[in-house]
């Protein structure tokens, strides 16, 4: 087949959550199909790095946009009924290139990752189309509204409601829609849109993210994630204010490593706290995770799958996480990782792992085994193949009818 694959962030290199899922799909599709990728980049550097996607696809279209211009597009939609998110991910040049490709070439399937770029092909007819929502963005914005103060909370609530309308409309423009988790799939089905739907999980490269057999520091905790991302910022500020003091009261030498690119000024100030280090961008997060007794993921805002959890578990490092973040991982609380919702709960779970080597070892072994069995990319891609086949068959049958 010839597949046109459109995504909201250029999917190479796959260094962040929004790029990992599409890259693995593109790499998989390209083993048997001819894949053309179309997406945006936001800097010359991102564009240069993105060129290296060539071995993983037949062709690609890359359009560079300016963040200030995209922000202006977003702001311009605030007083309108159109979701600002669509403005942020719109480029007239990319729209033109996609139209030209569809005019000049014959594609057998259009696959879109993320609702924010479904706008480019929502009106296209005559070709089977799949929309992979990944996460339901409307629900993320509505969650943000609960944590933001006035008047920002009103803006996020409005955007969430706008995106909800967009998601319902776009779902009806495609032949099949997918999500990352069963929970997100149930949210999609709750929209009442008459369209086929399914879900397939994110995976983890368990060869790359593997234990290294080296010693760890029993007093060290790690948190991994981009620190310009609000849910990561919010949870680390909350953790340092409310859980870390409980830990240090029982274990004064506790150290917290906050590892991730582009920390805000507020995040950098957390590094002034006793025992806290804010690293900023690092070339490889694995040594920071493997060298810690455990990784925490105490997110209060989370949709879909947190790749940081999959990666830590694959490296044989125990994870203590929130219930909302755990919902995107196909694992069992207390068996493969520890799940809690209170500050005391976090402190007790963390201290349990730090104080008990046998418990740490049990979770390390069980967590990695679960990632290999339930979050392996090959198995997820097998599921995706079945979804694509279902979409094509259903489209062909409707065409014959």
In this structure, the answer to whether residues 173 and 149 fall within a common structural domain is yes
**Residue 167 belongs to some domain of the structure:** yes
In this structure, the answer to whether residues 381 and 334 fall within a common structural domain is no
Please check whether residue 294 is in contact with residue 350, taking contact to mean a CB–CB distance below 8 angstroms.
yes
- Number of domains forming the structure of the chain: 2
Mean pLDDT of 218-225: 97
Burial (CB < 10 A; 0-12, 13-18, 19+), residue 155, is middle
DSSP label of 322 = E
The tokens 């550097």 sit on which residue? Answer: 45
**Residue 295 belongs to some domain of the structure:** yes
In this structure, the answer to whether residues 314 and 231 fall within a common structural domain is yes
In this structure, the answer to whether residues 174 and 235 fall within a common structural domain is no
CA-nearest of 24, 38, 10 to 98 is 38
What digits encode the pLDDT tens for the residues 234-285? 999 999 999 999 999 999 999 999 999 999 999 999 999 999 999 999 999 9
Report the alpha-carbon distance of residue 260 to residue 225 in Å, rounded: 5
In this structure, the answer to whether residues 338 and 391 fall within a common structural domain is no
214 Rama sector, left if φ>0, alpha if ψ -120 to 50, beta otherwise: beta
The whole-model pTM stands at 0.92
In this structure, the answer to whether residues 109 and 257 fall within a common structural domain is no
In this structure, the answer to whether residues 238 and 300 fall within a common structural domain is yes
Edge-to-edge order in the sheet of strand 34-41: 59-64, 34-41, 2-7, 109-113, 129-134, 176-179, 196-199
**Residue 239 belongs to some domain of the structure:** yes
**Residue 26 belongs to some domain of the structure:** yes
**Residue 31 belongs to some domain of the structure:** yes
Three-state SS at 174: coil
Name the strand (E) or helix (H) holding 170: helix 152-171
In this structure, the answer to whether residues 178 and 268 fall within a common structural domain is no
In this structure, the answer to whether residues 229 and 333 fall within a common structural domain is yes
17 pLDDT band (50/70/90 cuts)? Answer: confident
State the pairing for strand pair 292-297/2-7: unpaired
Instruction: Reply yes or no on whether the pLDDT at 401 is more than 60.
Output: no
The confidence score (pLDDT) of residue 395 equals: 85
In this structure, the answer to whether residues 198 and 343 fall within a common structural domain is no
Instruction: Reply yes or no on whether the pLDDT at 399 is more than 80.
Output: no
CA angle 70, 92, 83 (to 5 degrees): 50
- Give me the CATH number covering residue 112: 3.40.50.2000
**Residue 211 belongs to some domain of the structure:** no
In this structure, the answer to whether residues 342 and 390 fall within a common structural domain is no
The confidence score (pLDDT) of residue 303 equals: 86
**Residue 293 belongs to some domain of the structure:** yes
In this structure, the answer to whether residues 37 and 182 fall within a common structural domain is yes
Q: Which domain holds residue 140?
A: 2-203+377-400
Mean pLDDT of 208-212: 96
What digits encode the pLDDT tens for the residues 288-339? 999 999 999 999 999 889 999 999 999 999 999 999 999 999 999 999 999 9
Token couple for 297: 């993921």
**Residue 165 belongs to some domain of the structure:** yes
Report the alpha-carbon distance of residue 4 to residue 130 in Å, rounded: 11
Instruction: Reply yes or no on whether the pLDDT at 122 is more than 60.
Output: yes
């Amino acid at each position: 087949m010839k597949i046109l694959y459109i995504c909201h962030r250029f999917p190479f290199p796959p260094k962040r959550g929004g790029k990992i899922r599409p890259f693995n799909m593109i790499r998989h599709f390209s083993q048997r199909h001819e894949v053309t990728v179309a997406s945006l980049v936001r800097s010359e550097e991102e564009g240069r790095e993105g060129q290296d996607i060539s071995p993983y696809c037949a062709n690609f279209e890359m359009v560079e946009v300016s963040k200030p211009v995209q922000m202006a597009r977003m702001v311009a939609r605030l007083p309108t009924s159109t979701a600002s998110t669509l403005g942020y991910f719109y480029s007239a040049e990319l729209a033109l290139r996609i139209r030209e490709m569809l005019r000049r070439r014959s594609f057998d399937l259009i696959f879109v990752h993320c609702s924010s770029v479904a706008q480019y092909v929502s009106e296209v007819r005559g070709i089977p189309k799949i929309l992979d929502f990944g996460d339901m963005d409307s629900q993320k914005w509505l969650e943000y509204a609960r944590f933001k103060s006035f008047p920002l909370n009103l803006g996020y609530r409005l955007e969430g409601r706008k995106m909800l309308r967009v998601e319902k409309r776009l779902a009806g423009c495609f032949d099949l829609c997918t999500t990352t988790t069963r929970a997100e799939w149930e949210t999609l089905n709750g929209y009442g849109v008459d369209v086929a739907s399914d879900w397939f999980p994110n995976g983890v490269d368990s060869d790359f993210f593997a234990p290294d057999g080296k010693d760890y520091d029993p007093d060290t905790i790690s948190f991994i994630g981009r620190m310009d991302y609000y849910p990561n910022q919010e949870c680390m500020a909350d953790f340092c204010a409310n859980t870390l003091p409980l830990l240090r009261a029982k274990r004064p030498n506790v150290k917290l490593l906050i590892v991730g690119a582009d920390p805000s000024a507020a995040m950098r100030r957390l590094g002034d706290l006793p025992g806290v280090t804010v690293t900023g961008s690092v070339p490889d997060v694995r040594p920071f995770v493997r060298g810690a007794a455990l990784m925490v993921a105490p997110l209060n805002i989370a949709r879909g799958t947190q790749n940081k959890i999959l990666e830590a578990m694959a490296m044989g490092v125990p994870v203590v996480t929130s219930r909302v973040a755990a919902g995107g991982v196909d694992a069992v609380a207390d068996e493969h990782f520890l799940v809690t919702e209170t500050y005391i709960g976090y402190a007790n779970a963390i201290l349990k792992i730090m104080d008990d080597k046998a418990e740490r070892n049990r979770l390390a072994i069980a967590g990695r085994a679960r990632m290999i069995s339930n979050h392996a990319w090959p198995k997820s891609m097998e599921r995706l193949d079945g979804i694509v086949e279902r979409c094509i068959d259903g489209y062909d049958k409707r065409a014959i009818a």
